[in-house]
């Protein structure tokens, strides 16, 4: 439905010609803005509605009682089965933060969700073999667990800036009636929607411009020019692009077929999926730059390590 609306605006309302860079950018922009804003309002509202049925801080205390790392493993596995790109994972991440779940555990989900996608898993299994597909999924989950543990160990909870001050002040009280619970959840959903609206528009707008006007061949040719530093270059070049794993896997197959090592191609894909520029712009409204830099730095280093590991295995094979 959202794609139909975006298509109507692009081709019927604006009368743009299909397959032109402007039409591709505009269609991409409207579809992703609608999708992300819909998810933000819906997910945050639903999670906060569910939260009203628990005593204040009960979820946080329950998660806190889990053995070291177990909460991160659960969050990473949950992220692995959710079919979200980097920006679409943010609403659920925000919901976890609103529910007072530990920051490190929430980041385990945010890291793994865009990196491991069941559609990409199936496509990769068909194109590269199931052994590689399982190694890809496992590497994304392990990266999510370790990344979340590291961020949790940094004790940067105070760097989270997206909060509903009025609701936080009264968090010891939860409404008892169904109407009160629904009104409480809708209010937080609306407030979060309003706070993130300009950042979603700005972030997706930049991603749409790159998506429509920068040819994929440019990245393919640049990634293939280097050998020793190819994984690092591929990771850095993947960050500006905004796409999900399932749409990037065929591109990775093409790059690998043209002689780029598999680990380099995989690093390129994981950077596109898990470290997009639009994601950074939206998250800037959720957390301070210090935490955002730690998140991007840890994930980027992890992706680079995965890339070199797969290059080594690929060479030995």
For residue 66, give the DSSP letter: S
Instruction: Give the per-residue pLDDT at 83.
Output: 66
Instruction: Give the per-residue pLDDT at 169.
Output: 47
**Candidate from 87-91, 99-103, 208-212, 266-270 with smallest mean pLDDT:** 208-212
Note the pLDDT tens digit of each residue in 158-185: 898 876 544 554 555 678 889 999 998 8
Instruction: Give the per-residue pLDDT at 317.
Output: 59
Chain centre distance of CA 300: 13
Q: How far apart are the first and last CA of the chain?
A: 45
Instruction: Give the per-residue pLDDT at 153.
Output: 93
What is the dihedral sign for C-alpha 168, 170, 173, 175?
A: negative
Instruction: Give the per-residue pLDDT at 166.
Output: 43
Note the pLDDT tens digit of each residue in 12-28: 898 898 888 889 889 98
286, 110 contact by CB (below 8 A): no
Greater pLDDT, 10 or 213: 10
Greater pLDDT, 162 or 271: 271
Grade residue 32 by pLDDT with cuts at 50, 70 and 90.
confident
Instruction: Give the per-residue pLDDT at 165.
Output: 43
Alpha-helical (H) ranges within the chain are 2-7, 21-51, 58-64, 70-80, 86-98, 103-115, 118-128, 130-153, 165-169, 178-213, 216-223, 230-238, 245-257, 262-274, 277-283, 289-316
The pTM is what?
Answer: 0.78
Q: Which of 276, 218, 225, 213 is nearest to 247 (CA)?
A: 276
Grade residue 250 by pLDDT with cuts at 50, 70 and 90.
low
Note the pLDDT tens digit of each residue in 96-141: 887 778 899 999 999 998 888 776 787 778 777 888 889 889 999 9
Q: Which of 195, 110, 208 is nearest to 152 (CA)?
A: 110
User: Mean pLDDT over residues 202-213, rounded?
Assistant: 75
What is the dihedral sign for C-alpha 214, 220, 225, 227?
A: positive
Note the pLDDT tens digit of each residue in 37-80: 898 888 888 888 887 887 655 555 665 566 668 889 999 998 88
Grade residue 220 by pLDDT with cuts at 50, 70 and 90.
low
Instruction: Give the per-residue pLDDT at 88.
Output: 76
Instruction: Give the per-residue pLDDT at 79.
Output: 87
Instruction: Give the per-residue pLDDT at 125.
Output: 80
Chain centre distance of CA 178: 33
Note the pLDDT tens digit of each residue in 276-310: 888 888 898 889 999 999 999 999 999 999 999 88
Torsion angles phi and psi, residue 287, rounded to 5: -145, 160
Q: Could you tell me what percent of the chain has a pLDDT over 90?
A: 23
Grade residue 148 by pLDDT with cuts at 50, 70 and 90.
very high
For residue 16, give the DSSP letter: P
Instruction: Give the per-residue pLDDT at 117.
Output: 73
Joined tokens for residue 77? 């596995």
Neighbours of 70 (CB within 10 A): 13
């Amino acid at each position: 439905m959202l794609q139909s609306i975006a298509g109507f605006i692009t081709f019927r309302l604006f009368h743009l010609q299909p397959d032109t860079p402007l039409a591709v950018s505009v269609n991409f922009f409207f579809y992703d803005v609608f999708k992300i804003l819909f998810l933000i309002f819906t997910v945050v509202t639903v999670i906060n509605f569910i939260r009203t049925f628990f005593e204040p801080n009960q979820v946080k205390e329950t998660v806190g009682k889990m053995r070291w790392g177990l909460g991160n493993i659960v969050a990473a596995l949950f992220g692995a089965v959710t079919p979200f790109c980097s920006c679409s994972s943010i609403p659920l991440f925000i919901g976890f933060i609103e529910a007072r779940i530990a920051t490190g555990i929430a980041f385990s989900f945010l890291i793994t969700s865009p990196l491991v996608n069941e559609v990409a898993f199936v496509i990769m299994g068909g194109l590269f073999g199931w052994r590689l597909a399982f190694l890809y999924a496992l590497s994304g989950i392990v990266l999510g667990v370790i990344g979340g543990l590291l961020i949790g160990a940094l004790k940067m909870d105070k760097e989270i800036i997206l909060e509903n001050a009025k609701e936080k002040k009264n968090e010891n009280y939860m409404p008892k009636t169904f109407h009160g619970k629904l009104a409480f959840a809708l209010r937080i959903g609306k407030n979060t929607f309003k706070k993130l609206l300009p950042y979603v528009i700005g972030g997706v707008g930049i991603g749409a411009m790159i998506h429509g006007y920068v040819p994929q061949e440019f990245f393919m040719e640049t990634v293939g020019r280097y050998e020793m530093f190819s994984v690092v270059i591929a990771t850095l070049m993947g960050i500006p692009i905004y796409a999900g794993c399932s749409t990037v896997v065929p591109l990775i197959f093409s790059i690998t077929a043209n002689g780029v090592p598999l680990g380099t191609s995989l690093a390129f894909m994981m950077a596109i999926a898990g470290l997009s520029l639009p994601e950074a712009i939206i998250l800037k409204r959720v957390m301070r730059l210090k935490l955002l830099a730690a998140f991007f730095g840890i994930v980027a280093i992890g992706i680079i390590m995965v890339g070199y590991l797969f290059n080594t295995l690929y060479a030995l094979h």
